[in-house]
């Protein structure tokens, strides 16, 4: 068994090295990072910002491609994340039943210096991540980046203090699940609403072949980028809360393993 | 000319890292080490895709349009001076999927440890055979 695996590994490595050599030679001749933009990228930008007929309400091209032109892609990617979390919860469900512990100051956590640093840093993380999510349609960032950044705050609380401290702060699995569901509902409502006005699913701005007039780009003095800001808020809730659920589950699950 | 050597260097390093990660996934007997090698593989693939978006011009700009409602000329100017936005849009979803898959694998590894009290692949196979006999 082990011999077969080793032979397989060596074959893989030889293939990878041959591929590397070929790729590098091809790269020098053809040049992979090109001075001009690729045809595929140009196609995407052309179709996302087809000037005159339609446009995306955001100057941030990554967000515009992600939510406007490739919206269904992102919806199914969110589904994959959802199913993975459901799998984790199913695996961890049973050992979680008999874990109810209080946070004890003396027993848990690292030194006072680390705890004070954690207290300062989590505020900064929260501000930066919410800023990333809310301004995702005009500056680099968005729901995914903001959500992933926000989930770091509970993670360093678990490392610095304890998972019981995190639970006593008010984070919990059921609250995270509710907020995650609110994010999913926001996504679904924003995606389906154009159908009522005879538009297309996930439609953002006005198109020549649909009656839906498009989401408002400007409310008062603020640009909101059509549906993009709502999508970013929903995705921020989904990603951050599901990551928090993963971290709480893993830390509680391991402690359950020690006890039994 | 130096850009070409830098490009060769970056590609060679990325693909060497991928081959090390594949080695770890296949050869290492510990399940946690296999998962660590898998994260290295995924991150290197993401770095490689981001690098494909780079443009061989001096100081390429981030992919943000200068105005809210761009004209045709502004779009052409944007395509000449900014990095390719498409690989970045693909990678931002790949990172989240990567985390979800790794979390699920970690849960499976914890489950294996609870069942067999070891994470060594060879010992788990031996224990399984011993149970069947």
| H or E, element range at A158 | helix A152-160
| pLDDT at residue A28 in the model | 52
Q: A260 to chain B: which residues are within 8 Å by CB?
A: 114
Report the predicted TM-score, pTM, of the whole model to 2 decimal places. 0.85
Find the closest chain A residue to B56 by CA distance: A35
Q: A41 to chain B: which residues are within 8 Å by CB?
A: 53, 79, 84-86
> Which CATH class, in words, describes the domain spanning B2-132?
mainly alpha
- Chain A to chain B Cβ contacts (< 8 Å): 173
| pLDDT at residue A113 in the model | 93
| CB proximity B23 to A under 8 Å | yes
Residue A217: partners with Cβ closer than 8 Å, 6 or more residues away:
A57, A205, A223, A224, A225, A226, B68
**Domain spans of chain A, in order of start:** 71-259
| Measured CA distances, A228 to A48, A60, A181, A204, B78 (Å) | 13, 10, 19, 8, 21
User: Which of B15, B54, B95 lies nearest to residue A20, judging by beta carbons?
Assistant: B15
Interior/surface letters A67-78, b for 16+ CB within 10 angstroms, e for the rest: bbbbbeebbebb
**Domain spans of chain B, in order of start:** 2-132
Q: Cβ–Cβ of B75/A51 closer than 8 Å? A: yes
| pLDDT at residue A258 in the model | 46
Question: Along the 133 residues of chain B, how does pLDDT read in single tens digits?
Answer: 777 777 778 878 887 888 888 888 888 899 999 999 999 999 998 998 888 777 777 778 888 887 777 777 887 788 778 888 888 888 888 888 898 889 899 989 988 888 888 899 888 888 888 876 5
| CB proximity B68 to A under 8 Å | yes
Residue B108: alpha-carbon gap to chain centroid: 21
Q: Assign A93 to helix, strand or coil.
A: coil
Q: Which residues of chain A have pLDDT under 50?
A: 257-260
CA distance A228 to chain B (A): 14
- In B32-51, the residues whose Cβ lies within 8 Å of chain A are 51
Mutate to test the interface with B, among A9, A37, A244 (most CBs of B within 10 A): A37
Question: How close are the terminal C-alpha atoms of chain A, in Å?
Answer: 34
C-alpha span between A81 and A79 (Å, rounded): 5
| pLDDT at residue A260 in the model | 37
C-alpha span between A253 and A245 (Å, rounded): 12
Residue A128: partners with Cβ closer than 8 Å, 6 or more residues away:
A149
C-alpha span between A47 and B86 (Å, rounded): 12
| pLDDT at residue A129 in the model | 95
Residue reference for tokens 């931002």: B92
Show the CA angle centred on residue A176, arms to residues A171 and A177, nearest 5°: 150
């Amino acid at each position: 068994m082990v011999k077969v695996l080793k032979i397989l590994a060596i074959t893989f490595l030889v293939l990878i090295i041959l591929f590397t050599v070929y790729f590098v030679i091809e790269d020098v001749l053809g040049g992979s990072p090109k001075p001009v933009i690729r045809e595929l990228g140009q196609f995407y930008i052309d179709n996302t910002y087809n000037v005159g007929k339609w446009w995306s309400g955001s100057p941030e091209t990554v967000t515009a491609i992600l939510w406007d032109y490739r919206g269904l892609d992102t919806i199914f990617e969110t589904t994959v994340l959802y199913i993975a979390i459901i799998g984790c919860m199913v695996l961890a469900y049973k050992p979680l039943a008999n874990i109810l512990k209080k946070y004890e100051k003396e027993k848990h956590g690292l030194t006072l210096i680390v705890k004070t640093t954690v207290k300062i840093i989590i505020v900064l993380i929260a501000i930066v991540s919410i800023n990333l999510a809310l301004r995702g349609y005009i500056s680099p960032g968005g729901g995914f980046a903001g959500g992933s950044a926000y989930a770091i705050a509970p993670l360093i609380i678990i490392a610095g203090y304890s998972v019981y401290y995190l639970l006593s702060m008010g984070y919990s699995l059921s609250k995270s699940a509710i907020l995650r569901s609110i994010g999913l509902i926001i996504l679904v409502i924003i995606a389906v609403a154009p159908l009522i006005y005879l538009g297309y699913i996930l439609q953002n701005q006005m198109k020549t072949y649909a009656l839906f007039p498009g989401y408002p780009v400007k409310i008062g003095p603020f640009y909101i980028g059509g549906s993009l800001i709502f999508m970013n808020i929903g995705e921020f809730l989904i990603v951050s809360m599901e990551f928090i659920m993963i971290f709480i589950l893993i830390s509680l699950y391991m402690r359950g393993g020690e006890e039994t | 000319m130096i850009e070409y050597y830098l490009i060769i260097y970056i590609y060679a390093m990325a693909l060497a890292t991928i081959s090390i990660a594949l080695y770890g996934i296949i050869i290492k007997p510990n399940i946690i080490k296999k998962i660590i090698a898998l994260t290295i593989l995924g991150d290197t693939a993401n770095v490689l895709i981001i690098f494909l978006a780079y443009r061989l011009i001096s100081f390429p700009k981030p992919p943000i349009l200068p105005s809210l409602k761009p004209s045709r000329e502004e779009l052409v100017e944007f395509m000449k001076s900014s990095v390719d936005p498409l690989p970045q849009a693909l990678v931002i979803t790949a990172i989240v999927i990567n985390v979800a898959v790794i979390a699920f694998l970690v849960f499976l590894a914890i489950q294996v440890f609870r069942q067999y009290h070891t994470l060594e692949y060879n010992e788990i196979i031996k224990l399984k055979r011993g149970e069947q006999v």
